[in-house]
Amino acid sequence: RNQQMKKRVLTLLLAGIMAVSTTGVSSFAAETETETATEASSEADEDYGEVVIEDGDRTITFTEMPKGILCLYSGEVLMKLGLKDYIVATNENNKGRKSPLEGVADDFEGIPELEKSQENAVASGADLIIGEISAFKDTNWGTFESLEDKGINCYALNGTVVADETMDSIYQDIENMGKIFKVEDKAEALIEDTKAQISEIQDAVKDVKEEDKVKAFVMDSLSGNEIYTTSAGLESNLIELAGGINTTKGMSDSRWFTTSVETLVTANPDVIIFNDYGVEGQVQENMDFITNNAALADVPAVKNQNYVVVPLAYVMHDLSAVVACQDFAEAFYPDCFTE
């Protein structure tokens, strides 16, 4: 019996030693794994070097790869460059302006949508915020200075910090995102592909004579009897790339301005473009205002009910601008696109 007891005690001792040994190995493996991940992250940051981006009159310096993006715009470029996993949150009112491009809007499913506030920007865990320059105000998500003081870099979309926004602004954003996230080859390929699509549209309408060019008027929104339209900027550029003429180009020092029905009469457009904000009934209400206004009865676009509707997202600082340009060109010159 004593012999059996000794054997049992020995077995328990061995089991205890093995348990301690296994725990030790497991703990050591976990520590080693953590250390390896930390070292890899540190090495990645060392390899990252320094990326300097000119953003309007600001210079942004990156010394390590951003870990999380708060995306305050449609985010098509980010998705197309394969950066979805970096997006930690988007803004609550982004839904109506998300990309209409196939598959990209779906990429936002499951990404948290935040109400506008500096507290939410900081709480999101983002170390990079991308949005229009208007987003970086005390009354919005916080100023550049206040956010940078909290370790958050801020990138204002190029189209919102230059004198006049064109497709070149979108190309610049693609190039900058490529540099920041070290995907320069992808960025270059995306720029070339986008330029090729625009060139194809231009080629289709290149034989249209100057005197035959379609005159377009943008009906962005309506306030009482006043019309909000465009004097410059991306939508104006897209009209021109599609072979048309923006009848209100250069009428104001600002890109968008409020004007009267008389301006529309004087502009005498062949086509009226209605921007769709995704608000139910908004486009129809604007169309009814134009169609039922006796002063506009002789305007060619009204007389012929020659209207084009474009989602606002298509003309807002991102890749779907190509879709808008194609839609404009086909509406202006359908004969150029018949096979």
Which pair of structure tokens corresponds to residue 174?
A: 């693609």
Planar angle of CA 263, 268, 271, nearest 5 degrees: 110
- Edge-to-edge strand list for the sheet holding 153-156: 113-114, 87-91, 69-71, 128-131, 153-156
Strand 271-276 relative to strand 245-246: parallel, antiparallel, unpaired?
A: unpaired
Q: Which residues 6+ apart lie within 8 Å of 55 measured at CB?
A: 155, 156, 158, 161, 176
Cross-strand partners of 62: 51
C-alpha to C-alpha distance for 34 and 42, rounded to whole angstroms: 12
Residue 27: what pLDDT? Answer: 45
- How does 65-90 read in b/e, with b if 16+ C-beta sit within 10 Å? bbebbbbbbbbbbbbbbebbebbbbb
| pLDDT of 339 | 67
176 vs 170: CA distance, rounded Å: 10
Region label for 75, one of left (φ > 0), alpha (ψ between -120 and 50) or beta (otherwise): left
Q: Say how far apart CA 173 and CA 55 lie, in whole Å.
A: 10
**pLDDT tens per residue across all 339 residues of the chain:** 444 444 444 444 444 444 444 444 444 344 444 454 444 444 456 689 999 999 999 999 999 999 999 999 989 999 999 999 999 999 876 545 556 666 677 888 889 999 999 999 999 999 999 999 999 999 999 999 999 999 999 999 999 999 999 999 999 999 999 999 999 999 999 999 999 999 999 999 999 999 999 999 999 999 999 999 999 999 999 999 999 999 999 999 999 999 999 999 999 999 999 999 888 899 999 999 999 999 999 999 999 999 999 998 899 899 999 999 999 999 999 999 986
Q: What pLDDT does residue 105 have? A: 75
Tell me if 314 sits within 8 A of 323, measured CB to CB. yes
What pLDDT, on a 0 to 100 scale, did the predictor assign at position 15?
Answer: 44
